[in-house]
Homo-oligomer: A and B are copies of this chain.
Amino acid sequence: MILTVTLNTALDLTYHVPALTPHAAHRVTEVRERPGGKGLNVARVLAALGRETVVTGFAGGPTGALVRELLASPAQQTPAPYDALLPIAGPSRRTIAVVDGTTGDTTQLNEPGPAVTPQEWTAFLDAYGALLRDAEAVALCGSLPPGIHVGAYAELVRRARSADVPVLLDTSGEPLRRGIAARPDLIKPNAEELAQLTGAREPLRATRDARRRGAHAVVTSLGPKGLLALTSDGVWQAKPPAPVRGNPTGAGDSAVAGLLSGLVDGLDWPGRLVRAAALSAATVLTPTAGDFDREAYESLLSRITVTESPTPS
């Protein structure tokens, strides 16, 4: 099975309003509820691809209970990931995306998440260790909730490597900086996260800098321009045939699902990148993270171009 870790699970709410006016009262015309947190999105895409998938991390309070309920009943007729989330005392967070019907723009409000106690963290480490025994690969995804030390992902990377389980880290800021130093097999930053980490704006330079910090491979998502991969085997760029218009939320999580499933299937780097880029573009075509347009995905698989760069990695 493939394991995904979401320490800061969320209930993702999408609110549609005719127009967002600061300091006014708004009647929300449409409400959508989804299980959220990057690792849950990755797991839902993996499960939809038919992969045996297990989610772990934390879920607490009535919001955590609702997240688990939604996770167990996917909207489409796809299998649900296996739920190995640990119950905690603090309530899981909500995130709210307010979509302005006039401009189409989104305003995001993210609750910080529950205060995880040291005892809960210790219990998680035990559960994580046990789950690693059956894992073919593991993805560590998203922000850290309050109370968890900033080196937490570094610790989870080290444990995965000790257990010989390939580990992908997808986070940002200081947890990413610390996590890279523990030498994960793969990180998947976007251009913004990479610039924040390295100070470099040019993607190839920033990607190379990130790899030097300790990641064995770096796959940078370039938005509509596809993916850039720096690995010990070479440098590649994967591009969709044309930029896809839609909602980019969750596109990065689907890329993670593509990379992980490709790794487990023994694909070479170009093969993994085609899958990741196709899933990513097919996710932009759907309104919510953790979903993708299956028909578009299958059609894109033969239309993603991968070019190898002569640049030394």
Residues of chain A whose beta carbon lies under 8 Å from any beta carbon of chain B: 13, 15, 17, 20-29, 31, 62-63, 65-66, 69, 94, 96, 98, 100, 103, 105-112
Query: Which residues of B sit under 8 angstroms from A20, Cβ to Cβ?
Result: 22, 107
Query: Which residues of B sit under 8 angstroms from A109, Cβ to Cβ?
Result: 15, 17, 26, 28, 96, 98
Taking the closest CB of chain B, its distance from the CB of A35, in whole angstroms, is 13
> How far apart sit A104 and B110, CA to CA, in the bound complex (Å)?
19
Copies of this chain, whole number: 2
CB <8 Å contact, B25 and A108: yes
Query: Which residues of B sit under 8 angstroms from A108, Cβ to Cβ?
Result: 24-26
**In the A-B complex, the 5 residue pairs with the closest CB atoms:** A25-B108, A23-B105, A62-B66, A28-B111, A26-B109
Nearest residue, chain B, Cβ from A13: B94
> How far apart sit A111 and B15, CA to CA, in the bound complex (Å)?
8
Cβ-defined partner of A23 (8 Å) among B13, B23, B63, B106:
B106
CB <8 Å contact, B23 and A112: no
> How far apart sit A94 and B32, CA to CA, in the bound complex (Å)?
12
Query: Which residues of B sit under 8 angstroms from A69, Cβ to Cβ?
Result: 62
Further pairs besides A15-B111, A20-B22, A96-B96: 7, Cβ < 8 Å? A17-B109, A23-B103, A26-B109, A28-B112, A29-B112, A62-B62, A62-B65
> How far apart sit A254 and B266, CA to CA, in the bound complex (Å)?
67
Query: Which residues of B sit under 8 angstroms from A111, Cβ to Cβ?
Result: 15, 28, 31
Q: List 30 A-B contacts (CB under 8 A).
A: A13-B94, A15-B109, A20-B22, A20-B107, A21-B107, A22-B22, A22-B100, A22-B107, A23-B105, A23-B106, A23-B107, A24-B107, A25-B108, A25-B110, A26-B107, A26-B108, A26-B109, A26-B110, A27-B110, A27-B112, A28-B110, A28-B111, A31-B111, A31-B112, A62-B62, A62-B63, A62-B65, A62-B69, A96-B96, A96-B109
> How far apart sit A29 and B237, CA to CA, in the bound complex (Å)?
39
Query: Which residues of B sit under 8 angstroms from A65, Cβ to Cβ?
Result: 62
Query: Which residues of B sit under 8 angstroms from A105, Cβ to Cβ?
Result: 22-23
CB <8 Å contact, B31 and A100: no
> How far apart sit A110 and B27, CA to CA, in the bound complex (Å)?
5
With A62-B62, A62-B65, A65-B62 already in contact, the answer to whether A23 and B100 are too (CB < 8 A) is: yes
Nearest residue, chain B, Cβ from A26: B109
Query: Which residues of B sit under 8 angstroms from A17, Cβ to Cβ?
Result: 109
> How far apart sit A289 and B98, CA to CA, in the bound complex (Å)?
24
